């Protein structure tokens, strides 16, 4: 997501939320899907991008076992972990940082203990910072061959894990110049396949991976070659007017309950037309307006019917008042979990207690000052 904005919720809105959630849950039984996985993103390891590599627990944080256990208990079987390239490889062409690799490996092992698969995502927007200055992939400072070598080394270091869902080689590239992202992605694919012929490679689209404008900005990705034919194309889809995920203008008059379907449909259609596999690596709605909930429901239903999975954005202990966050608030579930739970593993033991939790959480959110 290229921008975020914290939004607080008012008591009247909380009351509306409660009514809508109760009606919606009573109207439909909880169901399990055998389709592509729906998961979540736990943020924190990519935070502090103004201070790189930064100091652990001051500038950035990794998910805790408690967080993994909480979401696994809800039925989550897929977690996306965004990280910064500059932390894993602190100098272009250099080795992998031992401390970062320990944190990443420990997280993956923790997830395995809870039978959760992991996507590792480089959250760098097609860039790498050197002395505080961003350089675009393909530049003299960050050449294609070094991106290839990085991913070759990184994939080799992680391939022993059995619960890797995929390697997301670069999140949300933008304004890189014609053909630059396609060339960079191809180099990374070749680098990974030198050492790993098994794991899925995830390819973000151009223009922040915007689903609505996928064909305009990302059509050239269909020509990428994978010797193992195991690519997954990743679009991001927020439902506000500018697709940024800030929801700065709220639920404006031109938005309908089908807006999520309309925004993701160009990506779905592209997948079908080109016989490609897809995934929506970022989507989310704010909790401060109940009208967004049917939008999320319709969106999830649509992508699942088209055998496309995705990861909700986001969770993480440092989000605090972030309106899209599904991190539990003082131990109480966030409202968006009601909708998500219907698309998670049907073996989840959460459904029996969700009404009490959501009522308590909406009351807590409504009391924020």
pTM given for the model: 0.86
Q: Which of 46, 67, 149, 282 is catalytic?
A: 282
Q: Tens digit of pLDDT for each residue in 113-168?
A: 999 999 999 999 999 999 999 999 999 999 999 999 999 999 999 999 999 999 99
Share of the chain above pLDDT 70, in %: 84
Does the structure show a pLDDT above 50 at 111? yes
Stronger pLDDT, 260 or 348, i.e. the higher one: 260
Q: b/e for 9-39, b at 16 or more Cβ within 10 A? A: beeebbeebbebbeebbeeeebeebeebbbb
Q: Tens digit of pLDDT for each residue in 56-83?
A: 999 999 999 999 999 999 999 999 999 9
Stronger pLDDT, 6 or 17, i.e. the higher one: 17
- List, in sequence order, every residue forming a beta bridge with 187; answer none if it has no partner: none
What is the three-class DSSP state of 204? strand
Neighbours of 90 (CB within 10 A): 14
178 is catalytic: no
Q: Can you tell me the distance from the alpha carbon of 259 to that of 269, in angstroms, rounded to the nearest whole number? A: 16
Three-class SS string for 83-138? ECHHHHCCCCCCCCCHHHHHHHHHHHHHHHHCCCEEEEEECCCCEEEECCEEEECC
Q: Which of 172, 182, 297, 327 is catalytic?
A: 172
Q: What is the DSSP string of 154-185?
A: HHHHHTT-TTEEEEE--S---S--TTHHHHHH
Q: Tens digit of pLDDT for each residue in 172-209?
A: 999 999 999 999 999 999 999 999 999 999 999 999 99
CA proximity to 5, closest of 329, 366, 335, 324: 324
225 is catalytic: no
The mean-pLDDT minimum among 28-42, 202-216, 231-245, 279-293 falls in 28-42
Cα separation of the two ends of the chain: 27
Q: Can you tell me the distance from the alpha carbon of 185 to that of 81, in angstroms, rounded to the nearest whole number? A: 19
CATH architecture of 11-366: Alpha-Beta Barrel (3.20)
Query: Domain ranges in the chain?
Result: 11-366
The mean-pLDDT minimum among 27-31, 120-124, 143-147, 354-358 falls in 27-31
Instruction: Name the helix (H) or strand (E) containing 27.
Output: helix 11-27
Stronger pLDDT, 11 or 294, i.e. the higher one: 294
Which residues 6+ apart lie within 8 Å of 356 measured at CB?
none
Q: What is the DSSP string of 31-81?
A: ----SS-EEEEE-STT--TTSSS--BTTTB----HHHHHHHHHTT--EEEE
């Amino acid at each position: 997501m290229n921008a975020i904005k914290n939004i607080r919720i008012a008591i009247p809105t909380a009351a509306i939320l409660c009514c809508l959630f109760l009606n919606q849950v009573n109207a439909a039984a909880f169901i399990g899907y055998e389709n592509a996985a729906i998961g979540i993103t736990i943020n924190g390891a990519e935070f502090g991008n103004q201070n790189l590599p930064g100091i652990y627990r001051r500038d950035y944080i990794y998910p805790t076992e408690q967080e993994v256990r909480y979401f696994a208990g809800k039925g989550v079987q897929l977690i996306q972990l965004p990280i910064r390239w500059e932390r894993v490889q602190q100098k272009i062409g250099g080795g992998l940082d031992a401390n970062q690799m320990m944190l990443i490996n420990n997280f993956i092992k923790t997830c395995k203990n809870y039978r959760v698969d992991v996507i590792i995502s480089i959250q760098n927007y097609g860039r790498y910072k050197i002395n505080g200055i961003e350089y675009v992939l393909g530049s003299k400072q960050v050449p294609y061959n070094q991106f290839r070598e990085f991913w070759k080394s990184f994939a080799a270091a992680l391939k022993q894990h059995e619960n890797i869902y995929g390697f997301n080689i670069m999140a949300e590239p933008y304004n890189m110049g014609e053909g630059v992202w396609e060339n960079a992605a191809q180099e990374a694919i070749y680098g990974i396949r030198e050492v790993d012929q098994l794991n899925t490679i995830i390819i973000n689209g151009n223009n922040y991976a915007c689903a609505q404008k996928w064909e305009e900005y990302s059509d050239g990705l269909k020509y990428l070659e994978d010797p193992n034919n195991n690519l997954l194309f990743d679009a991001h889809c927020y439902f506000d007017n500018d697709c940024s995920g800030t929801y700065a203008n709220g639920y404006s008059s031109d938005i309908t309950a089908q807006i999520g379907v309309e925004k993701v449909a160009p990506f779905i259609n592209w997948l079908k037309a080109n016989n490609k596999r897809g995934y929506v690596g970022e989507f989310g709605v704010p909790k401060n307006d109940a009208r967004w909930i049917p939008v999320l429901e319709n969106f999830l239903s649509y992508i699942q019917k088209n055998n496309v999975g995705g990861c909700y954005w986001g969770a993480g202990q440092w989000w605090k008042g972030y309106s899209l966050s599904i991190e539990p608030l003082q131990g109480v579930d966030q409202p968006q979990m009601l909708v998500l739970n219907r698309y998670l593993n049907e073996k989840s033991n959460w459904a029996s207690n969700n009404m009490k939790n959501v009522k308590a959480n909406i009351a807590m959110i409504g009391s924020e000052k």
